[in-house]
């Protein structure tokens, strides 16, 4: 197959590119690199089945030749990024989604939207099933991401119903692993970076807010399985094991043997108190659930960050 991946130089997009190239497919990556990094793809630059196009997909997309899949991952995806790039985030998840859907329709290609657990906002239902409509503040600081992803889902379903586009929607919950930027602002990269440099681990609120953490290889397997089924409504992909942020901080401190202290700071506006996926649909539809143990995954991730920071064990 020939696959076009937007945002393919980012954390998840680059791992998906690895997977598709390893299976013998052709991959064309479109990325403007505002949050992505070509270093995530540099090992493919001499592969004749790989193409990189520096492009902002919020503008018109022109791709020469046949395309079998369009996979839309382009978007700032962490609070620090979408708060720094609010207009760009709104554009890439609205105009960019429209443009990629148009590309898929023109090429007669299948389509996969990378959506997010953020569509649930600060949820009032726990855990969150795909049938839950969410609890989102549209004008809060996180609204630029939350609402634009909700719009992205809406226009994807509209293209499916109106034009018969063969689409998929993955609602991705917290994911971690190698290539997650150290300055990404998400809790795993924050804690590991702070721990390895013996800086204080910053826990917001009282640390009782919960998240669930899936390793990158589990997510990529889930995405591959979603591509293989005929299902058009959203599917949660995440880890159904709940962990408090304070528990995660203590675990990372232990695994890194860090001397860092844990300090408490005020909770950011609209920060979700609990976040946990109901993956019943993924289990039944895809025969998928994450299997990487958190300690094992964090150990591998910490080793990668040590290499990036040139820190000796």
Active site residue 82: no
Catalytic residue (one of 145, 176, 215, 305): 145
- pTM score, two decimals? 0.95
89-124 pLDDT tens trace: 999 999 999 999 999 999 999 999 999 999 999 999
Pairing of strands 110-116, 214-215: unpaired
Token representation of residue 212: 């669930």
- Residue 136 half-sphere exposure toward CB, CA atoms < 13 A: 22
Rounded to the nearest 10 degrees, the angle between the axes of helix 294-309 and helix 245-256 is: 60
How far is the C-alpha of 273 from the C-alpha of 121, rounded, in Å?
10
Pairing of strands 243-244, 210-211: antiparallel
% of the chain beyond a pLDDT of 70: 99
The phi and psi torsions of 121 (rounded to 5 degrees) equal 65, -140
What's the confidence (pLDDT) of residue 270? 66
User: How long, in residues, is the chain?
Assistant: 313
**pLDDT band, residue 312 (cuts 50/70/90):** low
Domains and CATH numbers, the chain: 2-175+213-237 (3.40.50.720), 180-211+241-275+291-309 (3.90.25.10)
């Amino acid at each position: 197959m020939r696959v076009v991946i937007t945002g393919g130089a980012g954390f998840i997009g680059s791992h998906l590119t690895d997977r598709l190239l390893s299976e013998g497919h052709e991959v064309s990556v479109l990325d403007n690199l505002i949050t992505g990094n070509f270093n995530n793809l540099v090992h493919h630059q001499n592969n004749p089945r790989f193409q990189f196009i520096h492009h902002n997909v919020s503008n018109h997309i022109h791709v020469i030749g046949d395309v079998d899949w369009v996979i839309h991952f382009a978007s700032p995806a962490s609070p620090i990024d979408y708060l720094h790039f609010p207009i760009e985030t709104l554009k890439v998840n609205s105009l960019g989604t429209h443009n990629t859907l148009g590309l898929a329709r023109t090429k007669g290609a299948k389509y996969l939207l990378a959506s997010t657990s953020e569509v649930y906002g600060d949820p009032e239902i726990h855990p969150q099933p795909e049938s839950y409509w969410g609890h989102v503040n549209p004008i809060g600081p996180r609204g630029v991401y939350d609402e634009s992803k909700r719009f992205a889902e809406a226009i994807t379903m509209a293209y499916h119903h109106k034009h018969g586009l063969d689409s998929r929607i993955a609602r991705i919950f917290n994911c971690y692993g190698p290539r997650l930027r150290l300055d990404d602002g998400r809790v795993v990269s924050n804690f590991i970076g702070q721990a390895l440099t013996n800086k204080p681990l910053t826990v917001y609120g009282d640390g009782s807010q919960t998240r669930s953490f899936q390793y990158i290889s589990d997510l990529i397997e889930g995405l591959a399985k979603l591509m293989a089924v005929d299902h058009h409504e959203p599917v949660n992909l995440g880890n159904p094991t709940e962990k408090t942020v304070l528990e995660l901080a203590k675990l990372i401190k232990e695994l890194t043997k860090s001397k860092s202290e844990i300090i408490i700071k005020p909770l950011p506006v609209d920060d979700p108190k609990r976040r946990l996926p109901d993956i019943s649909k993924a289990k039944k539809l895809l025969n998928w659930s994450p299997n990487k143990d958190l300690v094992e995954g964090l150990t591998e991730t910490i080793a990668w960050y040590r290499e990036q920071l040139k820190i000796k064990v």
